[in-house]
Structure 1
Amino acid sequence: MTLVSGRPTVAGIDLERATIPELQRAMDSGPLTSAELTGFYLDRIRLLDPRLHAVITTNPDAPRLAAESDDRRRARRMLGILDGIPVLLKDNIDTADRQRTTAGSFALAGSRPAADAHLVERLRAAGAVILGKTNLSEWANFRDRRSSSGWSAIGGQAGNPYVLDRNTCGSSSGSAAAIAANLATVAVGTETNGSIVTAAGANGVVGVKPSIGLVSRSGVVPISVVQDTAGPMARTVTDAAILLAVLNGPDSGDPSTSDSPARPDYLRFLDPAALHGKRIGLWDPTGGTSPETLAEFARAVDLLESSGATTVEVTIPGLDVVGRTELPSMLHEFKHGINEYLAATPGEHPADLAGLIEFNKANADVEMGFFGQELFEEAQATSGDLTEPAYLSMRAEATGAARRGLDDTLRAHRLDAIVAPTNAPAWKTTLGRGDDYRFGSSAPAAVSGYANITVPMGFVGPLPVGLSIMAGRYSEPTILALAYAFEQAARARRPPEFLPSC
């Protein structure tokens, strides 16, 4: 096997190119086993992660899970297309095993979830090998306004595999960096606003922010009961579609999933000709801040049109309202949600948000060496619960404006989807100074609760930039199909080079 020099290969298989169906065929025919694939990734994590800080912990049970999958294969009792496939989880997703769930904070080092998150239950039922937990922006980037994406007290600062001193963006930073660096086949991230798509875009991988209600949030450390979701991160749209099909499903513990559509096979929607005859809205959210990204976007638009799509320039109204009301709404939701999560989670940890604030003060040397906890304190200062009329009015404004903005734009121009640049090239990480986001395109889909996917679009120098494709609620079949067609035409992804700087 080849770990670092050249392309990552195991049993003669190029893991940069191989999709899950191809890995399954190799395991069926004999050149590859789940144990060998899992061992390869564990070795690669040991070799590469000291430079990346993308993985907080590996699962001591992963070799056993892989061996059990190989036993099922020999007995012809496979559990599905994800059986035997190594999956990494963002470390704000509960597992009731020998791994911790910390959200990157030492405050949860003694936390011991009593049950797997619902999505982890689904992964285990599908035979996936839970490989480990990925680093993240501590508390999913909801602790301070000057936080650094990809930094947590437990995991340190995650590095971008393309240029190591550049930021990983988004709070699903470790999941994105790990998949870019081929430390697992696929990973699960979470998003409240941008945490999947911006991290995926900056690390040159595919990220799906599902519609709210498609994937259960039970057992995920919360920020917003209205906007939180988990979703797939992968090197290809094919693998993201396979993972989404396993994550998708109703959960009695999460009422938002009560009308979740059962679509166990998203692969059937993947068509290289899917762009032909479609009407696509072109949205430029950059405000002129990233001409290099816009140049890549222009090339992507040419490709959309040459693939048979009709494009229409659009603007999305109401984003000023979203910008004014989203964060105040989330401050209320975070206090309520984190207090509820802590009360329900066994182990030694602070009892509530007030306790977390005091923990950080008492452990400021490890927790607050680079930035503080302004958002924690603002959330703690909110009053009332989530039935307060003032909160409900503010949340209705935020969600309503985002939904009207997307719905009206899609309807007025008879669009199948809207595309936009996902990210500018990643900035150089400067701990203590906060993030240097130039623009974002995640808010309309995030705040409305609608579907969004990012797919590699191109490069600015050595740094990847992504193309976001968004549409209405439960439009995953449409956006996956369009992303697949673009991916097959563009072939924009290339492996990272682990450059020290640029």
Structure 2
Amino acid sequence: MNDPKLIVLESWLIEATVDEIQAKLTSGDLTSSELVRMYLHRIAKIDQSGPKLNSILEVNPEALHIARRLDQERELKGVRGPLHGIPVVIKDNIDTHDKMHTSAGSLALKESIAPKDAHIVKQLREAGAIILGKTNLTEWANFMTVGMKNGYSSRGGQVLNPYGPGTFDVGGSSAGTGAAIAANLATIGIGTETSGSILSPSSQNSLVGIKPTVGLVSRTGIIPISHSQDTAGPMARTVKDAALLLNVLSSADEKDPITLSCVDHDIDYTDCINGGWVRLNEINIGIQDKIIEYLDEEKQTIIKNAIESLKETGVQIKHDVKVPSMGEKWDINVMLYEFKTNLNAYLSNLDSQVEVRTLKDVIDFNWMHEDRTLKYGQSLLIDSEKTSGRLTDSEYLNSLEQDIYFSKAAGIDQLFKDENLDIIVSPNNYGAMLPAKAGYPSITVPCGYTKAGEPVGITFTGSAYSEPLLIYVAYTFEQATKCRRAPQF
């Protein structure tokens, strides 16, 4: 970097929050154009050379032009809101109708330009955010094959964890967003989750990740896996930044009926960080100790210390709680059936120049280019294609009914009722499956590091649309512990 001002500002940029950046933008000490230039410099220095994190799949060629326009708008008209002029990176399964591609990490879609912006991208642009780039991911959002390494895609290669490149798991499937935000390559980011794909990379990269209630955030324009479970969500370095981003993402969308079931899309989630409607000593939190035992001894100690810190905030803690249905025989039939149906519908709406129009076309493309596309295989794609794709089949309907009943009424809801709980706690993304099937929200927060430097996260899960309570508790824990530290390069 040659600009002396930017050299000075880059050292300040590390770990800067949205509010801190906005203060610099308001004072005139910084412009969004300069901010974008700094992030592009860091992408060149850290992502594409140096440790080569490989988290950014594409940079938006219009990012600097958009930043300049937003700088002018700030000066002439004022700001649109807290995200005005703030660079954000988004996962490469989220449609952008611009000069970037949307591929889910697949070479089969490497030339695909989405016909329109995803609903959440439209929301971001209207809020004044700058779409800085697309992030690498576990291919097809980790629904391509069993055993694929987290953060790998045939189009983008392997994403590395900035806390231990080549050593620590980067988490999946929103790996690129996780690594990029952890390494300060953008201010905030967007991931998507079907089962653990926001929580996992957030935990592994010492970030705050919010997996919202299914229905809070539109799914329109996102390459799908399961309409029963899919959702996009914020990934950020602080709870407040994640809450600011959730404010923008939360929106009713006529093209996504589930969003119309949300009672209130106008909640300001930053107002929730200080509580006010409930006292900490009135919040009952259950600890899933059996899940914690899956961790090694060092990580168990970190989680147990985090729980003690949580207890010191004044919340009520109850140990050894267990979701009643945890021992049921779960399957992935719902995802297998819905993936085929949803993906075929998505592909059919792409530009006619895109050669793959069905899941079968994707599978055939991979066979034809297997030296580049099938490093780990495509067993899940094949298993999904074997289904009829009809959502009237008894196998699908029986699994759907089981998932809904045993994750909700006979699962999390039953536990909350029996134990008088508001929230349950688990480490990292270890408890992600049941809330994913239920469509319930979770938020993960950094809670420590191993001696080798690997991040560990603590995850809070609530019932439908309990984001305000989860954000309050997560923010209280974050402020009490202040665990997060930036990776060192």
Bin of the TM-score, shorter chain as denominator length: over 0.9
The answer for the alignment partner of 1:252 in structure 2 is 254
Q: 1:88-121 deviations in whole A, cap 9, x for unaligned? A: 0000000000000011011001212110000000
The normalised TM-score by structure 2 is 0.94
The answer for the alignment partner of 2:108 in structure 1 is 107
Aligned equivalents of 1:289 and 1:456: distance in 2?
A: 16
Q: 1:3-27 deviations in whole A, cap 9, x for unaligned? A: 9xxxx97637733342212211211
The answer for the alignment partner of 2:391 in structure 1 is 386
Aligned equivalents of 2:402 and 2:427: distance in 1?
A: 26
Change (3 A) 1:470 1:372: same
Aligned equivalents of 1:132 and 1:419: distance in 2?
A: 33
The answer for the alignment partner of 2:419 in structure 1 is 413
Matches within 5 A, 1:190-201: 190-201=192-203
| 1:456 lines up with 2:446 in the alignment | yes
Change (3 A) 1:2 1:90: farther
Aligned equivalents of 1:217 and 1:229: distance in 2?
A: 6
Q: Which consecutive segments of 4 or more residues in structure 1 shift more than 3 A?
A: 8-13, 272-277, 286-289
Change (3 A) 1:153 1:170: same
The question of whether the paired residues in 1 share the 8 Å contact of 2:292 and 2:426 is answered with no
Q: 1:258-314 deviations in whole A, cap 9, x for unaligned? A: 122223421111128964442111113144442222111111111111111110011
The answer for the alignment partner of 1:481 in structure 2 is 472
Aligned equivalents of 1:151 and 1:10: distance in 2?
A: 35
Deviates more, 1:178-187 or 1:339-348: 339-348
The question of whether the paired residues in 2 share the 8 Å contact of 1:192 and 1:227 is answered with yes
**Partner amino acid, structure 2, of 1:483:** A
The question of whether the paired residues in 1 share the 8 Å contact of 2:284 and 2:420 is answered with yes
For the residue of structure 2 that corresponds to 1:110, the secondary structure is: coil
Matches within 5 A, 1:152-231: 152-165=153-166, 166-231=168-233
The answer for the alignment partner of 1:436 in structure 2 is none
The answer for the alignment partner of 1:431 in structure 2 is none
How much has 1:174 moved relative to structure 2? Answer: 0.4
The answer for the alignment partner of 1:447 in structure 2 is 437
The answer for the alignment partner of 2:324 in structure 1 is 317
Aligned equivalents of 2:129 and 2:465: distance in 1?
A: 25
The answer for the alignment partner of 2:270 in structure 1 is 267
The answer for the alignment partner of 2:45 in structure 1 is 47
For the residue of structure 2 that corresponds to 1:375, the secondary structure is: helix
Gaps of 5+ in 2: none
Matches within 5 A, 1:131-146: 131-146=132-147
The answer for the alignment partner of 1:26 in structure 2 is 24
Aligned equivalents of 1:332 and 1:121: distance in 2?
A: 29
Matches within 5 A, 1:346-361: 346=351, 347-361=353-367
Aligned equivalents of 1:72 and 1:182: distance in 2?
A: 26
Q: Equivalent pairs: percent with the same residue?
A: 42
The question of whether the paired residues in 1 share the 8 Å contact of 2:90 and 2:191 is answered with yes
For the residue of structure 1 that corresponds to 2:414, the secondary structure is: helix
Gaps of 5+ in 1: 424-439
Q: 1:391-433 deviations in whole A, cap 9, x for unaligned? A: 112111012211131111112222221111115xxxxxxxxxx
RMSD: 1.8
The question of whether the paired residues in 1 share the 8 Å contact of 2:340 and 2:389 is answered with no
For the residue of structure 2 that corresponds to 1:80, the secondary structure is: coil
How much has 1:387 moved relative to structure 2? Answer: 2.6
Match of 1:372 among 359, 374, 377: 377
Aligned equivalents of 1:409 and 1:456: distance in 2?
A: 26
**Partner amino acid, structure 2, of 1:281:** G
Match of 1:240 among 239, 242, 264: 242
The question of whether the paired residues in 2 share the 8 Å contact of 1:35 and 1:66 is answered with yes
For the residue of structure 1 that corresponds to 2:77, the secondary structure is: coil
Aligned equivalents of 1:235 and 1:222: distance in 2?
A: 26
